[in-house]
Amino acid sequence: MIRLSTSDPAFDRDFTALVNARREVDADVARDVRTIVASVRDEGDAALAAFTKKFDKHDLNETGWRIEKSEWRAAYEALDPALREALDLAAARIAAYHEKQRPADSDTTDAAGVRLGARWNAIAAAGIYIPGGRAAYPSSVLMNAIPARVAGVERLAMVTPTPNGEVNPLVLAAAYVAKVDEVWRVGGAQAIAALAYGTGRIAAVDVITGPGNAWVAEAKRQLYGLVGIDMVAGPSEIVVVADGRNRPDWIAADLLSQAEHDPTSQSILFTDDADFARAVAAAVDEQIGELSTAKVARASWDANGAIIVTASLEEAIPLVDRLAPEHLELACDDPQALFDRVRHAGSVFLGRHTPEAIGDYVAGPNHVLPTGRRARFSSGLSVLDFMKRTSFLQLDPASLAAIGPAAVALAETEGLPAHAKSVALRLD
């Protein structure tokens, strides 16, 4: 774990190294992904079956390609009542939050008499990728599927790897709650290629969203343009800005909530209290030993964790902006004052009683967020990722006469005579 202080002479150098540190998987997966994508494009279902047998150790023709809706419903009904209620609460809150993101059409006439506007429509089909393997995340099903449903997407296909043919029932229950249309027992880069190109069994989609490993992320990157994607996500991140009036064990737990995701996750604390910094570090070490995810959390904290002591909490904010973190907690007496200064963060959690983990499940805002400093230029998943805007305009003779000559002049200046003529003929 890195310990820094803004009072150290070498702070700028050391902090710059922290900002620029590359935490993505080191293996060069691009060539392997190109091979997989090309195979699925050219061979379709046969390639999917071969890759599934190789990576997930089961035969799709025996275990079944598609998981039927009756299994989703059975998984939902078999849940412990308290867990079923929690899933329903999360779905309702996520839907309510995203309903407010629906954009309004516009249709106005300006002073020149030109009718101008924009109309929003949902994409026809979306695909969501839900990881298998290390853990199963029903919350990711809700966060990806519900915004698509709110947007009005007609077809929603879900793909998920099923090692040895097995799927987590919580994922199926979440698919039932989120009203997914199809669930396919395929994963990896091959599943992304199947959604992008389409195969004999799986129809192509227009947008693909959802988290995955390095191979999944690379497949999304390579196929962007053929389909839309949410983002190319990297390892999880949390930055906490906290004063010494917090409980150290609370803040330690917040830091570990991201460290336990993956050995490449990053957890950083900024504080203006050196004693509090030491107390949090001790609490982290104590709590790691109590976690079932201790091995992963320890690797993440030792390799990528950092505690940074600043002269004031305000001094931390420009440093936070340089990190542009996925998650930012402001645990202090007046979080709004600090939030007003923040420019770059995927999602911000205000106050001592707003842990980042609440946002992962039931608060409402989406937990699919930009990582790797991409919050400088991108936002979290929203309804808009499943919609597109079409502009329109309408002129009559009077409005064309008002603005047409300027168009003719610009077209002639650009050396495009047909452009100029198409307007000039109507002016005559």
What residues form the annotated binding site?
129, 190, 213, 236, 258, 261, 327, 360, 414, 419
* Closest-CA residue to 169 (of 85, 56, 94, 84): 84
377, two tokens: 């230029």
Catalytic residue among 58, 98, 327, 367: 327
CA distance 54 to 275: 52
| Known binding-site residue numbers for NAD(+) | 129, 190, 213
* 3-state SS class at 376: helix
Active-site residue identified among 218, 237, 260, 326: 326
Q: Which residues contact 122 (CB under 8 A, 6 or more apart)?
A: 151, 152, 153, 154, 386, 387
Picking from 195, 205, 135, the residue whose alpha carbon sits closest to that of residue 159 is 195
Length of the chain: 428
- Judging by beta carbons within 10 Å of its beta carbon (0-12, 13-18, 19+), is residue 238 exposed, middle or buried? buried
Q: What residues are designated binding site for Zn(2+)?
A: 258, 261, 360, 419
Q: Which residues are annotated as a binding site for substrate?
A: 236, 258, 261, 327, 360, 414, 419
CB within 8 Å of 331: residues ≥ 6 apart: 240, 241, 242, 243, 246, 250, 251, 254, 351, 352
Q: Are 245 and 333 in contact (CB under 8 A)?
A: yes
CA atoms within 13 A on the CB side of 189: 22
- Known catalytic residue: 327? yes
Let me know if 353 is a catalytic residue: no
Positions marked active-site: 326-327
